[in-house]
């Protein structure tokens, strides 16, 4: 890595939409400060150790004429190996204890409660007090503390939106809580942070922070049952959905489809991406996904439907993209 590469990493990656070094909330800012303090401390220790190595190398030909009462080497061991770590780690411990409360969940329920359930490999999102269920997209109102309750339907996952708050584990049979309170509208990328199988790296999501009015309109729409198919193609697509097997795994509220293995598709057409941010939500990529999901996201639970006639697959796409 050249110096130019290092500068590029520091200026681009540190400002990416998934970097703890690009905080957008108060808890994330505290974590950022802690991170830089740890980084600086680690660099100092690294510098001292490299300095000692260089010193040892430079003096390697000196004969050992130290007398028995020369305590220099012992002082290096006791000072550098014992006293300094105790002091540094105690300071770091105090710093962490100071930062932790800022990243904790609110003591009681807040105005809005959201439930996020981890699946291999997507995120199910439910809004308390409404029938709205979505996937891989968490919409929240700006400048509003949101109580996020996380758990999992299968293995351990970890919920992490680096620009908004710390990571929190999603554990079977247990509900963990974290607060999201973003002051500014925007899209913040999140990522599963606990290895959970082959699809782990492709288990991402977006937190979409909206002005409160826009958020309420969005939630009203998501809570409503699915739109009726409009046009012959979409109607044919709906019939295919209910007969070729899609409805066994996916729910579309307002229709007989009520599977819970895969994402709820009631308003899938309104989402920005598919397959947990793996591909954009366009008719072309949805068609490819239905045809061969394993090529796009190896390990995905979804079987391919390449054996369906292409016209059926196009009809499915027309129906699903119409569910806005
Ligand atoms: Cu879910 Cu890693």
> Do 202 and 165 meet the contact criterion of CB atoms below 8 Å apart?
no
Whether residue 305 is predicted with pLDDT greater than 90 in this model: the reply is yes
Whether residue 67 is predicted with pLDDT greater than 60 in this model: the reply is no
Average pLDDT over residues 245-257: 94
> Do 171 and 151 meet the contact criterion of CB atoms below 8 Å apart?
yes
Model confidence at 68, pLDDT cuts 50, 70, 90, reads: low
Q: Does 167 contact ligand 1 (Cβ within 6 A)?
A: no
Model confidence at 110, pLDDT cuts 50, 70, 90, reads: confident
E strands along the chain, which residues?
Answer: 112-119, 122-127, 133-135, 137-141, 146-152, 157-159, 168-170, 176-180, 186-191, 204-210, 273-274, 279-280
Model confidence at 64, pLDDT cuts 50, 70, 90, reads: low
Average pLDDT over residues 279-306: 95
* Cα-to-centroid distance, 170 and ligand 1 (Å): 9
Burial 265-289 (b: 16+ CB within 10 A, else e): bbbbbebebbbbbbbebeeebbebb
Whether residue 52 is predicted with pLDDT greater than 70 in this model: the reply is yes
Tokens of 6: 């290092």
Atom of ligand 1 nearest to the CA of 200: 2
Average pLDDT over residues 223-243: 93
- 151 compared with 82, residue with greater pLDDT: 151
Residue 86: asked if its preceding bond is cis (omega within 30°), the reply is no
Q: Does 194 contact ligand 1 (Cβ within 6 A)?
A: yes
| Nearest of 230, 280, 278, 222 to residue 253 by alpha carbon | 222
* Cα-to-centroid distance, 240 and ligand 1 (Å): 31
- Dist. CA 230–CA 318, nearest whole Å: 9
Average pLDDT over residues 294-316: 94
Q: So what's the pLDDT on residue 301?
A: 92
Whether residue 199 is predicted with pLDDT greater than 80 in this model: the reply is yes
Model confidence at 80, pLDDT cuts 50, 70, 90, reads: confident
* Cα-to-centroid distance, 261 and ligand 1 (Å): 16
Atom of ligand 1 nearest to the CA of 156: 1
Tokens of 306: 């390449």
The DSSP code for 177 is E
Whether residue 114 is predicted with pLDDT greater than 80 in this model: the reply is yes
* Cα-to-centroid distance, 242 and ligand 1 (Å): 30
Atom of ligand 1 nearest to the CA of 170: 1
Instruction: Give the Cβ contact number of residue 207 at 10 Å.
Output: 21
Q: Which residue has the tokens 């540094």?
A: 88
Q: Does 271 contact ligand 1 (Cβ within 6 A)?
A: no
Which residue, judged by its Cα, is nearest atom 1 of ligand 1?
Answer: 157
- Dist. CA 108–CA 106, nearest whole Å: 6
Mean pLDDT of the chain: 92
- Burial class from Cβ neighbours inside 10 Å (0-12, 13-18, 19+) for residue 239 reads middle
Residues 209, 99, 96, 149: is their CA dihedral positive or negative?
A: negative
| Nearest of 322, 133, 112 to residue 223 by alpha carbon | 133
Q: So what's the pLDDT on residue 70?
A: 73
Reduced 3-state DSSP string for 92-114: HHHHHHHHHHHHCCCCCCCCEEE
List, for residues 15-26, the tens digit of each pLDDT value.
889 888 999 999
Model confidence at 111, pLDDT cuts 50, 70, 90, reads: confident
């Amino acid at each position: 890595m050249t110096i130019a590469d290092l500068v590029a990493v520091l200026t681009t990656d540190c400002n990416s939409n998934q970097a703890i070094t690009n905080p957008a909330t108060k808890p994330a800012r505290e974590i950022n400060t802690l991170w830089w303090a740890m980084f600086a401390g680690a660099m100092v220790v690294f510098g001292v150790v490299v300095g000692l190595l260089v010193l040892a190398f430079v003096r390697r030909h000196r004969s050992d004429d130290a007398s028995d009462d020369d305590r220099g080497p012992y002082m290096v061991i006791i000072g550098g190996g014992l006293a300094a770590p105790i002091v540094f780690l105690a300071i770091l411990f105090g710093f962490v204890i100071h930062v932790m409360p800022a990243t904790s969940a609110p003591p009681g329920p807040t105005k809005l409660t959201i439930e996020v359930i981890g699946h291999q490999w997507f995120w199910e999102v439910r809004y308390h007090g409404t029938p709205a269920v979505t996937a891989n997209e968490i919409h929240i109102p700006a400048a509003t503390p949101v109580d996020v309750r996380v758990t999992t339907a299968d293995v351990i996952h970890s919920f992490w939106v680096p620009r908004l708050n710390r990571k929190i584990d999603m554990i079977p049979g247990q509900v963990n809580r974290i607060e999201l309170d973003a002051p500014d509208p925007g899209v913040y990328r999140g990522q599963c942070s606990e290895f959970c199988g082959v699809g782990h790296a492709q288990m991402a999501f977006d937190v979409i922070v909206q002005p409160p009015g826009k958020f309420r309109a969005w939630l009203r729409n998501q809570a409503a049952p699915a739109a009726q198919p409009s046009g012959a193609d979409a109607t044919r697509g709906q019939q295919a959905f209910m007969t070729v097997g899609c409805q066994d795994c996916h729910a579309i509220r307002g229709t007989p489809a009520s599977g819970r293995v895969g994402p709820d598709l009631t308003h899938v057409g309104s989402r920005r991406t598919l397959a947990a941010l793996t591909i954009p939500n366009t008719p072309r990529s949805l068609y490819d996904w239905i045809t061969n999901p394993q090529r796009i996201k190896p390990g995905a639970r979804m079987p391919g439907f390449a054996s369906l006639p292409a016209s059926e697959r196009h009809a499915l796409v027309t129906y699903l993209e119409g569910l806005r």
